[in-house]
Structure 1
Amino acid sequence: MKEFIIIGAGQSGLAMAYNLSQTNKDYLILDANEHIGAPWLKRWDSLKLFTPTEYNHLPGMLFPFPKGYYPNKYEVADYLKSYVEKFSIPIEFNQRITSVKKVNGIFEITSATGSYKAKQVVIATGPFHTPFTPPCHADIAENVVQLHSEHYKSPEQLQDGDCLVVGAGDSGVQILSEIAETGRTVHFSGTDKITAIPQSFLGKTLWWWFTKIGFLSVTRFSKMGKWLSKGVQPVIGTDVKSLLAKDNVIHMGRTLSADKNSIKFQKGSISSIKNIIWATGFKPNFFWIEDITFDETNYPSNYRGVSNDVEGLYFIGLPWLYTRGSATLGGVWKDAQYLMTHIQKNQTSGIADPSAELVEVG
């Protein structure tokens, strides 16, 4: 039995592991993937971070690139691998957890191939679990190539003919831009009222400005944080106006329905589409954890990562766990540090109420 088990070996799990290592805790990470960085490597080939090097550091190890550089997915994966090696972080791979439950004060963790026990558990599986695709995808002709953005790699996956990209978030816009560069006709489904922000302004990076004005430190409990966390996130680094003005990019509005012959949109129907990229996001899935409740977005009920339902259960790496930066590579360390402080204080004082430690939440 371990003192701690962390489920998930992404950046949030590794940041938590660093803190446990620094305090000599007996812990183990369980991860569903076959190696470190696998979720990054599975994403599209041209993916780059929106954040420059100086905002991508995990605790104890600098991201090894010059200031102002925007790393690609391969460089992020290599960084995470080096991080594990530097701190000798213990990980068991190919362990997709199917159940976590607390029995007689001890957590029992089950995967398809094994079982584990721990006194405390940190859930670090991130926010992206189940790819969401609108139900109408099942009504589209079988000869149309359909890929969720999770499985999109490059335009080479596409067959000849027109393409449709559905989704107006960062992933959808980046993929739309990449496919449009090939010269083929690309139909775009989603709102055209996209808030786009450049990666730099007046010689400073966007994240420098975010830090300067305190945007990244706004908490989810403040009035500003409540407004920001419930709003549509802006697209960063893509000139959306110029993209949608391209001759080969056709905006169709929202997707309404489909049949074997055509797809219906707000701005008409199309029967020429041969490829579809569904950049329509993910749904969280934490239903394998017993005895927890959920908020209105189906994320576990918690206070700054401390479960409101099960003592000794923690969460890290969720969007707006505490601030805008909670789910980012360079922002997760603050939440890991808070959880470590809470754990140590709880062990010495017996405090069980997570909100009792914080006087001010605004």
Structure 2
Amino acid sequence: MREETEVIVVGAGPSGLSVGACLRSRGIPFEILERSTEVGSSWRNHYERLHLHTMQRFSSLPGMPWPAGTPTYPSRAQMVAYLDAYARDFELTPLFGEDVRSARREDGGFVLRTEANEYRTRALVVATGYNRVPNVPTWPGDASFGGPILHSSRYKNGDPWRGKRVLVVGAGNSGAEIALDLWEHGAKPALSVRGPVHVVPRDLTGVPSQLTSLFLFSRLPPKVADAISLFALDRMLGDLTPYGFTRPKLGPISQVVLEKRIPLIDVGTLELVKQGQIDVVKDVRSFDPGEVHFVDGTTRPFDAVVLATGYRTGISEYFEDAEGWLDERGYPRYFGEPVPGAPGLFFIGFRNPLTGALHDIAIEAERVAEHLAGERR
């Protein structure tokens, strides 16, 4: 058992490190608990081709801009190097190998248990992120498929699948970019689009989409922003229905605001779809040896399947009585502010806002630290 710590931050990714730096600058004692052995473990384990979809100019953490010469959209490796430098410069030394197994409120504070230790704290900042637990669906017959069926969290690059027929299930940002990566490595990818999805270019007529969101869409009523964005997308991309992409009923801005779902930010996949280099198929219905059956009645042979089916936060699996603070998808309802009815509890880094996740993480971290500093005065 350890002595009580004034603040515990769970997670040493961008969110947890940001909070740590902001607490350090205000002289507030804290510990960061991290289940892996390094900071930024999620970024280290993402597929190699990944780049930020947001500009480095608006994606820095508190107190540390990106190094001069960093490209507009930093790579996964550059993000990892940035997080390493951030932890070093702010003297952040997480307690590694501390996977929180349970957390509960007790005596006006919180008690956390890991495999080896118990921690008590006055304030708790949960910064474990929205990709803590891979979401791995199952289908009838998938055990008989014969080839690998792996979640995107285990996908590194397309080199092992050169010349192979690979189905990518899920047309979010990860799925679309993994399909592109497979094609670049000589595989024969198909993308399973499971439902309606908005497609937005990463750059709109040469201007990063994030700039448009920061300075226009985030300041307009969602319905007005929807109308403007759809007008522009119609003229830039045309009708994508013939290529297998149908639009949701909600506009792209309203969908982010109301459903917390971001569009597919295209970095080149759409052009390959239009060229016939990447096939688009419907949702999966079932599997047979070497084959996948789809809901439209078609069947196609594949050698491997990559599940770009997202993640769960996993908060309710270790945090007692957390359901009242979570929405139907398991995401926190409160961001960077005290949770009503649970003094000292904060969630950070569980959003994908129009303005960019890292941009808002920096704002939320300052807000959390300032609130905790105010309580000490």
Q: How would you bin the TM-score normalised by the shorter chain?
A: 0.7 to 0.9
> Residues 342 and 29 (structure 1 numbering): CA distance in 2 closer, same or farther, change over 3 Å?
same
> Residues 194 and 180 (structure 1 numbering): CA distance in 2 closer, same or farther, change over 3 Å?
farther
Q: State which of 115, 120, 137 in structure 2 corresponds to 1:112.
A: 115
Q: Distance in 1 between matches of 2:205 and 2:300?
A: 45
Q: Which amino acid aligns with 1:336?
A: A
1:300 equivalent to 2:328? Answer no
> What SS class does the counterpart of residue 82 from structure 1 fall into?
helix
Deviates more, 1:299-308 or 1:245-254: 299-308
Q: Distance in 1 between matches of 2:374 and 2:155?
A: 45
Q: State which of 308, 318, 323 in structure 1 corresponds to 2:350.
A: 318
User: Superposition pairs for residues 148-187 of structure 1, below 5 Å?
Assistant: 148-158=151-161, 161-187=164-190
Q: Distance in 2 between matches of 1:12 and 1:172?
A: 24
> What SS class does the counterpart of residue 120 from structure 2 fall into?
strand
Provide the residue aligned with 2:192 in structure 1.
189
> What SS class does the counterpart of residue 75 from structure 1 fall into?
helix
Q: Distance in 2 between matches of 1:7 and 1:252?
A: 40
Provide the residue aligned with 1:331 in structure 2.
360
TM-score, normalised via structure 1 length: 0.85
Aligned partners of 2:158 and 2:187 also within 8 Å = no
User: Which consecutive unaligned segments of at least 5 residues does structure 1 have?
Assistant: 349-362
Q: Distance in 1 between matches of 2:371 and 2:104?
A: 22
User: Which consecutive unaligned segments of at least 5 residues does structure 2 have?
Assistant: 227-252
Provide the residue aligned with 1:353 in structure 2.
none
Q: Distance in 2 between matches of 1:248 and 1:237?
A: 15
Q: Distance in 2 between matches of 1:162 and 1:178?
A: 13
Aligned residues: 343
Q: State which of 253, 256, 264 in structure 2 corresponds to 1:228.
A: 256
**Considering only aligned residues, what root-mean-square deviation do their CA atoms show, in Å?**
2.7
User: Hey, which of these two has a bigger chunk of helix by percent?
Assistant: 2
User: Superposition pairs for residues 115-264 of structure 1, below 5 Å?
Assistant: 115-136=118-139, 139-141=142-144, 143-158=146-161, 161-190=164-193, 194-215=197-218, 227-229=255-257, 230=259, 232-260=261-289, 262-264=291-293
Q: Which amino acid aligns with 2:279?
A: I
Deviates more, 1:191-200 or 1:138-147: 191-200
> Residues 210 and 226 (structure 1 numbering): CA distance in 2 closer, same or farther, change over 3 Å?
closer
> Residues 137 and 131 (structure 1 numbering): CA distance in 2 closer, same or farther, change over 3 Å?
farther
Q: State which of 319, 323, 329 in structure 2 corresponds to 1:289.
A: 319
Describe the superposition over 1:91-126 as per-residue Cα deviations: whole angstroms up to 9, x where unpaired: 111111101122222321111122222111110001
Task: Give the fraction of aligned pairs with identical amino acids, expressed as a percent.
Answer: 24
Q: Distance in 1 between matches of 2:256 and 2:327?
A: 17
Q: Distance in 2 between matches of 1:44 and 1:60?
A: 28
Q: State which of 4, 29, 33 in structure 2 corresponds to 1:30.
A: 33
> Residues 82 and 219 (structure 1 numbering): CA distance in 2 closer, same or farther, change over 3 Å?
farther
